[in-house]
Structures are given as C-alpha cells and as structure tokens.
Structure 1
Amino acid sequence: MNKLTKSSVILAGLLSAGIAFAEYPTKAITMVIPYGAGGGTDVLARALQPALEKSLGQTIVVSNLPGGGGILGFTKVANAKPDGYTVTIPNNVIFATEGMGNATYKHTDFSYLGNVLTEDYLVAVRADGPWQTWGELVEDMQAHPSKVTFGFSGFGGSTHVASELLADVAGYQAKQIPHDGSSKAVLAAMGGHIDALMLNLGDLSSGLKSGKLRPLVSLGDQRLEEYPDVPTLKELGHNFALTNWRGIAAPAGVDDEVRAAWAKAIEVATQDPAFRQTIAAQGAQVDFMAPGEALDLRMTGLAESFIATAKKLKQ
C-alpha cells in the first residue's frame, strides 16, 4: 500500500467517524512563517497557499515573523488558541531548540496536521572561493582550526545542530556563525562574509541557482537529481546521513474536525501540479503523511534524536 493509499484510508476513517468538514473553517487562517521572506519555508508556504485555499475554501494569510532562528514565530503558534486558525510550518528546528533550552515550547505543544516534504542538508561555499571539493575544505579546516567561518540559520536551531554533528563526524573545527534566518546566511555567503554554510537544500536554492554558491556535499542518503555531481557524506566514507522535513502544525489540542480538514487539504495541495513543480525546482521531495499514529511516531523518533544531540552540544 503506497503512502497516498494509506493516507486515503486514514481520511476515510475520519470521515466515517462523522466529522463534518463544512463546519471548519469559517474564517481566514493565519500561517505563521517564523523566518524572513525568501527562505525555503517561506517559498513552501506561498507555493502551498493557493491549493490550500482552494481546498479549505478560506483565505490563508501568510505572516512572516522572524526572530531567534524561528523561536519567535513558533512560540506565537504554540501559545495560540487551538482552534485551527493559527498554523505554522515546522521542521527539525523545534526539536533542536527544545534540546538546547532556547525555547519555552516543547515539541508536544504542537499538533502535527501533516508532513509535506523531506529535503537534504547541504554544505556550500562561494563559487569563486578557494575550495572546489568537500575534501579540500575539510583539509583546510583540519589544518587551521577555527579559521574557516561556517554559517547556519539560527543559534541552537536545526542547521546549528547539523553543523556541529558534521564537524564531529568529519573531525574538524570551524568558527560557527549563526544568522537570523536562512536568507541572511545565504546573502552572507554570497557576499564573502562567511566561508561556508550549512542549510537545507530549499534554503540554499536561490544561492545555488544564481551561480554564486557551489554545493560541496549532501548529508542525504543518495545524490540529488538536480545536483548529480555532489557526493553524499556516506560516499566519502562517513556512516552518517541527516535529512530535514517540513509539514504543517497547529497548537496542541485541535479537535478531530480540524485535523481531518487539514489532512484532506494537504493531501490535495501536495498533488497540485503547480506546487509540485515549485518543489521540484527547489530540489526537495514531496512526502505527504496524514496526521495519525505513523506521523506521530515519526515526530517522536526525530524529537528523541535531535533533543538528545542538542543537549550534548550545550554541555
């Protein structure tokens, strides 16, 4: 049974339980994006917006609220009324910030309404810089500890944890430089203010397509179709892989009617040709999962891994 079939079964079960979709939503929905405009999460939200509005029958207001590497926006959603009218697009960062102790919310303060996509972490450098390969960059960082500046999005966030994990696995020291959002990290790298950076592929997309950034290595399980010449860390001899996810979440406590309506809307939206074209152009993979036991188990597993790692990093 494929993912779409499984999701349809879940939806059928929700429908058979007597949930009336017509009762929700009855007004506009606010989708809080905890980062600035132009980053991967912002692009995803605006690509999803038309299809979600059509399916839900209501306006979705995309509201950018950057700050604290995502903490400000996620905090607003976690503390909102659990009525389905305030949602956000989370990722591994909510687990990382919980483990680092940087946020007041916990991952259990959110109700996961559906997974949308999965994407790889990549390391990139300025295209006209001195490093042509990941091996060259690692050699330089090993030979000159803390000389190379390595950027990421948000102190204590997902890409911070991923950067620290990578440094430990590959055996180097770099000067880690946090930025308030991925778009600022990309601009810093393109402008030569940092030497390298770690971000999700979607967040790096603008810099890579401009030709100003060069991807050196992927942390995914296999090479990316869009960048077939970029090796994975596993290929280079490290038994290590790490991916990110993006979905839709509301404050914990939303009722079954809301969950069912969003499950239906997300499933329909992720099949929309225009949306899939945008995601393909970003190099990400559509990976729809409906709310329910399977998605909750996935979130629990990711939370345990990221929280434990983040706690070690802050010691």
Structure 2
Amino acid sequence: MATTTRRRSPSSRRADPGSGRTSAPSGGEAVMHGRRSWLRAGAGIAGAAALSGGVQASDWPNRPVTLIVPWAPGGGTDSVGRALGQALSRNLGVPVPVMNRAGGNGTVGHVAIRDAAPDGHTIGFVTPQLITGPLLGSVPVTWRELQPVALLNTDPGAITVGAQKPWRNLPEFLEEARRNPRSIRVGNSGQGGAWHMLSLELERKAGIELIHVPYASAGPALQDLVGGHIDAVTFSAVEVRAPVGGGQARMVAVAAPERMRTHPNVPTAREQGLDLDVSTWRGLATSRGTSTPALARLESAVRQALQDEVFQQFMAQQGFGIRFLGAPAFASFLGEQDTKYRAYFSN
C-alpha cells in the first residue's frame, strides 16, 4: 500500500468550525498532534461543562446538550449529526448544538466526549475509528473509557470514480489498477477508518496496489474527486450521492451483499466478481460516571429522536439507514467490533 501526502488545491479547503475561517484538510485525520494536543482539545469542553456543576437526573436537561462530531463538516457523520441534533432539540425542548472536533482520526472528539462532565449534557458520535485507533498506534482513548448510549445507523461503502475517468464498472477499474500498479489515487477516511478498510479489502481481494489519499471527511475528498485531483473514493454510497446524482462522479460498485434501494442500477462488487462487504456504523456515547437514571433518559431521548418524522424523512431522502440499539446492546456491539478488528489486524 502506498500513501501520498500532497498539497491541497484551494477547492479542497474546509471550514474551521472554531474560527469561521478555512483551513486545509488535516491529512485524513491521520495527522497526530500528540497526547497533549488531544487532551487540550477535550479539556475545553470538559471544563465548560464542569463549571455549571452536576445535575440530578430529574433535572436533565437543564441547559443545552452539546453534540460532538469528531469529524470535519461536510461528511456523512456531520450530516447525520446535524439532523439528529435538531430532532433531539425538538424532543428535549433545549438547544442541541453540533460541535465539530476533527483531528487525530477521530481521537480529538473522542477525548472530548470522555473528558466531559458526567451529567449527560455532552454526548458525541463514535465510529469504527474508536475501535481501530488503539489497534494501530498510541491513542489516548479506547471505547471502554466511554459510556455507550445508542447505536444509530449503519451504511455500506461504495467505490466511486470521477466522471472524467473511463471506467464504467468495477472490472474496468481493476483492469487499469492491475495494468498500472500504484497509479490510481483513491481518497478514503484515513488509517483505521471504515473506508480505509474498504480500500485495503479492495487491494487484498483484487490483488492490486492503490495510492491511498487520506481525508478528514468525505466533503474535501469529493471536492478533489470532482476537481480531478484524485481518481476515486471509497466512502459510503450516501456520502457520494450528490456528485453522483449531479453527473460529476460515477459509482461503479456497492460493497454490500445486495443492491441499495437508493441506487438500484449500481451493481454490488459481489455481482462483478469481487466479494466486498464493508459498512460503517455510527453511535452515541457520553462520559463514564453518568448516572444510570440520566443515562436511561438520554437513551430514551435518542430513541424518540430516531422516530421523529422529520429526521426519518431526512435519513430516507439521503439514503442513510437507521438501526437502533440501546446502551447495553450497543456496548455488546462495540465488544464484537473490537474482536473483529483485532482479528483483522493480527493477520
């Protein structure tokens, strides 16, 4: 596997959620700033929450509930987070602002969730990187240090190429990759992410070598795909929906056992001779120490938010799946994911 680090074009710059200015993608969340940087990033949220003091479960929520998204704006998790925040706000009667804490392949945001006051007023998204990060290097947070709240959804991956590329299907893409090894630049979510895993599985099962270009989220990657700076991406089918629908990109395969209802004309990789089945998942967690009654109320609020009509319409329109698991079942799910990825990385 080859990885490239390159200068981003102006079109691929993303918004800095903290300053309102723009900044270049973070090198695919794989740029590590060290334990102190991670801890400083989380400390701001934790400190702010701690100043207001603890609350009783019966008082929850008595102020805005912050929803942390550990990724840059523009990706699938950010989109789901904003829709969920609105649904939770309608249900709870308090604002639920989204706070993007990108960096360290999700680690900055995960640390912020862990270090928040254990009162249920700070929750955040967790994704497969929470599992894979500690398996790939020195990461100062593991899934066991967070309190699972609920699983929200799962989404299959897809192989998508720029509209200017000649490949009309997966066999044509693979033929080019075999004829010219390490010539195709593929954007993905960075080391350990679900879509990095999809790129690795594609290489392993097809016997090819790609150039991996990591991104902080799907948004900047898709800008570069449309601009011709990379050749393909391995993000979810949902995340590439806009450029595919606009004729700026072409989905050549879905990495799922069956075709998607939202893209019935796109064949699966399995139909085209390659057995690929890679999906991502998204859940919510909060800090450990949150009281059982407060956690129960939080889990119930999330369940009701997933049943919110406006939220369900958004998820259906965007092609996102909904899959709910409560706190105990989600904790078991995380344990199963940990076992799965440990087996993968030990091979």
Q: Which runs of 5+ in 2 are unaligned?
A: 1-55
Contact 2:194 2:279 in 1 (8 A): no
- Equivalent residue number for residue 171 of structure 2: 135
Paired letter, 1:74: H
Deviation, 1:155, is 3.2
2:253 corresponds to 1:217: yes
Residues 30-72 of structure 1: CA distance to partner in whole angstroms, max 9, x if unpaired? 1111122221111111111222112223221211122233222
Distance between the aligned counterparts of 2:139 and 2:219, measured in 1? 22
Alpha-carbon separation, structure 2, partners of 1:164 and 1:74: 24
Shift of 1:172: 1.0
Residue by residue over 1:219-254, the C-alpha shift from the partner in whole angstroms, topping out at 9 and shown as x without a partner, is 122110111121222223344412111121112332
For 1:153 and 1:185, the matched residues in 2 are separated by 9
Structure 2 counterparts to residues 198-237 of structure 1, below 5 A: 198-237=234-273
Amino acid at match of 1:303: D
Looking at structure 1, the residues matched to 224 and 138 of structure 2 have their Cα atoms a distance apart, in angstroms, of 24
Structure 1 residue 311: deviation in Å? 5.5
Q: Could you list the per-position Cα deviations for residues 276-307 of structure 1 after superposition, in whole angstroms to 9, with x for gaps in the alignment?
A: 11111221211112212x32222211122124
Q: Secondary structure of the equivalent of 1:105?
A: coil
The separation in 1 between residues aligned to 2:169 and 2:252, in whole angstroms, is 6
Task: Classify the secondary structure of the residue corresponding to 1:154.
Answer: coil
Structure number with the bigger relative contact order (C-alpha 8 A, sep ≥ 6) is 1
Secondary structure of the 1:176 match is strand
Q: Shift in Å at residue 159 of structure 1?
A: 1.6
Question: For the residues of structure 2 that align with 1:233 and 1:270, how far apart are their CA atoms?
Answer: 30
Q: 1:303 to 1:188 in 2, by over 3 A?
A: same
Distance in 1, matches of 2:244 and 2:293, equals 41
Q: In the alignment, is residue 42 of structure 1 matched against residue 58 of structure 2? A: no
Rounded to whole Å, the distance in 2 between the matches of 1:102 and 1:311 is: 16
1:74 to 110, 121, 140: 110
Query: CA, structure 1 residues 307+251, in 2 after alignment: closer, same or farther (shift >3 Å)?
Result: farther
Partner of 2:338: 303
Give aligned pairs, total. 292
Conserved in 2, the CA contact under 8 Å of 1:96 and 1:158? no
Corresponding letter in the other structure for 1:300: G
- Structure 1 position 120 matched with structure 2 position 156: yes
1:111 aligns with 2:160: no
**Distance in 1 of aligned mates of 2:185 and 2:104:** 20
Give yes or no for contact 1:269–1:275 (8 Å, CA) kept in 2: yes
Any conservation in 2 of the 1:98–1:107 contact (CA below 8 Å)? no
Larger mean Cα displacement after TM superposition, 96-105 or 214-223: 96-105
Identity, in percent, stands at 27
1:169-198: CA deviations, max 9, x gaps? 222111111112221111111111111111
Structure 2 CA distance, aligned partners of 1:45 and 1:232?
28
Query: Distance between the aligned counterparts of 1:184 and 1:68, measured in 2?
Result: 16
Q: TM-score, normalised by structure 2?
A: 0.79
Partner residue, 1:86: 122
Unaligned runs of 5+ in 1: 1-19
Structure 2 CA distance for partners of 1:245 and 1:251, relative to 1, 3 Å: same
- 1-side partners of 2:246 and 2:205: how far apart? 30
Mapped to 2, the partners of 1:195 and 1:35 lie a distance apart of 23
Q: CA deviation at 1:310?
A: 4.1
Ranges of 4+ aligned residues in structure 1 off by more than 4 Å = none
